[in-house]
Structure 1
């Protein structure tokens, strides 16, 4: 709950420190005194838009600090722990301090427990700390989207809302992907047709990786086979097979004569050794040449087939604008692209089944959500009707109509239409809340709805800013009673001009505006019992406080 607020140089406030307590607190004061300053200041701490015009005249900056005490199981404490914004590691102090600074240049800074944060983060934390009900909220009540939000808040079926939203997002994403797949399929149809032709042609030719280099080598060998045979035969005769003066015979003759001279001069040994090795090498070369000659093919038919394959490879490569030795790799790439397009087409065909399944999941989730809304609508309708009768509308009827259309356009909130319908007079038919003619009746109905729905919220602090406008007399006392009852489970802070409401509060703060002729300041003070009597008497009778108004005020406090 809100335990303390410190305001510096905001609007007509120079310096203000206010302590708040649990239960119901009423804030009263003369018209124009600035009773709503605490709500405005708190709004800044909760992420409201910062305007340099809010800074007090002659001041360079405005600053607001709000301190909250948190229960051990509160959602706010869990959020702080997840964001690592606790003042101590365990969060045992149960304190959350929000601070907002506005400069004359229009800049704004914010802190949570001393940690710099963004305004967006303040807004994330805000609904976990405070729920503010404004005096013009009855205008929002005429909107169907706000009525739906109130019904969902009362029903407290966050899990069903989450399931419906998750199913909606899944369905939406799959439909988006399906549309993209269909568009891509149309765009790639021509490409797939071309690829089918190209891959079929390359499949028929079936050039293997590295095959073109082998074809080139084979072609050179076959086309030069006669010359290769002639030259290798000449070399073989010169080295070994020739009858006269072949290299091997000459080497053997020279080697024999030198070996006979080794005993005479051992220095011939290195030369002899090299000649012996050369002799072995010549024999090896001759053997290799014989084997080479055996495998030389003088095959014109094979040469023709090889030439045809090389020519076809060059033709296909030119067609695809690349080198022949790149053709096999290009073939592999085209096949991969064609496989991808085929998989894409299959995915496009399967996407329809996935979309249909997602749609079915969404419709089921929306139907469960609708059933929960219908049940909550019946209960809430009865409670609001009871409150209307307490608020001086004895013939009031209130019905929340939930219309579920299973095939209605999908939204993240389901497919329901919600309408708040009311009648306040006998014989009048139910009609939408927006058609209520009496502003006073609308204000009272709005108050009943706000109080009842607020009782379902887990937010620890509820603030009401003059929501009792248009209410008076005995009805005002009932309003105060309702707020007092709400203060049993929540901290309730209520800005009011009605003494009957203020008298029901556990605590009361008075707002005064003081001027010295040159500047104006707003103060807020906590009232004791005697001061509350005087303030209530002022609310009852204006500036002239009489014994009668004081007695009336004391009676109100006693009843409260």
Structure 2
């Protein structure tokens, strides 16, 4: 993860290994900014106050290894993102005016998309961990795990069917959009043909019009010469 112009951090690269990572340090060392950076990558709220004084914007970029069949990878690809050699590239930019932009796998996405993937990618543990239980998604996950295979097996089948449905719906929307575009183009062509037919053009008329335009262009010179 690379952090630029965020709070006390000017430019830093943080390498987080798979598994558990503890962030420690003295007061003012930037621990909060590291956790805040992770929060931004995972769809957290942006605040102009986070931007380092004198900087135009703060940027956080992350590269997270994700198996191709993982739920996060599937959801990201459904949103148009692409994996880079088995990793998902995420970036978040916060301007000094408070505007925020998010990119996922090379594609601009709503910040809410990052929040959807958050639980699948990184777990951040802190003093407010228990508040995660207030999220309906966490509650459903806990119930599903408690139910065991009786729920896990049909849930996996449902997830696969739902992904296929999303793919078909996306393809249908694309086909429908192309059909509308072709219909609009056909209407425009018909309009052009009607305009041409309305003036009843004759063969060779373009040559006559060009010659007349040339004569009229020299009308002033001819009038002066005649007087």
TM-score by length of 1: 0.25
Tell me whether 1:81 sits opposite 2:71 in the alignment. no
The partner residue of 1:114 within 106, 116, 141 is: 106
Three-state SS of the structure 2 residue aligned to 1:42 is helix
After superposition, give the CA deviation of every residue in 1:426-480 in whole Å (9 maximum; x if it has no partner): xxxxxxxxxxxxxxxxxxxxxxxxxxxxxxxxxxxxxxxxxxxxxxxxxxxxxxx
After superposition, give the CA deviation of every residue in 1:231-259 in whole Å (9 maximum; x if it has no partner): xxxxxxxxxxxxxxxxxxxxxxxxxxxxx
**RMSD over equivalenced CA pairs, Å:** 2.9
Shift, 1:128, TM fit: 2.1
Shift, 1:54, TM fit: 0.6
In structure 2, relative to structure 1, the CA distance for the partners of 1:86 and 1:154 (3 Å cut) is same
CA distance in 1, matches of 2:128, 2:107: 34
Shift, 1:84, TM fit: 2.7
Q: How many residues are aligned here?
A: 153
Tell me whether 1:128 sits opposite 2:120 in the alignment. yes
Matches within 5 A, 1:39-54: 39-54=35-50
In the alignment, which residue of structure 1 is the partner of 2:143? 152
Tell me whether 1:96 sits opposite 2:92 in the alignment. no
Three-state SS of the structure 2 residue aligned to 1:106 is coil
TM-score by length of 2: 0.58
CA distance in 2, matches of 1:30, 1:101: 27
Shift, 1:56, TM fit: 0.8
CA distance in 2, matches of 1:71, 1:79: 12
After superposition, give the CA deviation of every residue in 1:511-547 in whole Å (9 maximum; x if it has no partner): xxxxxxxxxxxxxxxxxxxxxxxxxxxxxxxxxxxxx
CA distance in 2, matches of 1:134, 1:153: 24
* Unmatched runs of 5 consecutive residues or more in structure 1: 164-560
Shift, 1:150, TM fit: 6.5
Shift, 1:10, TM fit: 0.6
Tell me whether 1:35 sits opposite 2:31 in the alignment. yes
Shift, 1:114, TM fit: 1.8
Shift, 1:14, TM fit: 0.7
Shift, 1:151, TM fit: 3.4
Further displaced range: 118-127 or 107-116:
118-127
Using CA pairs under 8 Å that are at least 6 residues apart, name the structure with larger relative contact order, 1 or 2: 1
Matched-pair contact (CA < 8 Å) for 2:80–2:107:
no
Shift, 1:109, TM fit: 0.9
CA distance in 1, matches of 2:131, 2:120: 24
Which structure: larger Rg? Answer: 1
In the alignment, which residue of structure 1 is the partner of 2:178? none
Three-state SS of the structure 1 residue aligned to 2:11 is strand
In structure 2, relative to structure 1, the CA distance for the partners of 1:84 and 1:147 (3 Å cut) is closer
After superposition, give the CA deviation of every residue in 1:61-102 in whole Å (9 maximum; x if it has no partner): 100001111123322222233223115xxx6x1111100111
CA distance in 2, matches of 1:22, 1:153: 25
